[in-house]
Amino acid sequence: MTDRPSSWRMPTPKQMDKIAALAGRNVLQQPGLAPEADLPAEYWQALLDDPRAESRSGPAGGALRLSQIPQHILRVGCRRCARVVEIQKVDAVRLYGREALWKDVGRRLLDNTCAQRTGRHEEDGCWPAFE
Domain segments of the chain as ranges: 61-116
Percentage of the chain exceeding pLDDT 70? 69
For the chain, what is the mean pLDDT?
77
**Contacting residues for 14 by C-beta, under 8 A, at least 6 apart:** none
Per-residue pLDDT of 60-75, as tens digits, reads 556 789 999 888 999 9
Q: With residue 106 as reference, give the H or E element that holds it.
A: helix 102-112
pLDDT in the model for residue 21: 81
Structure confidence by residue, pLDDT tens digits, 78-88: 887 788 889 99
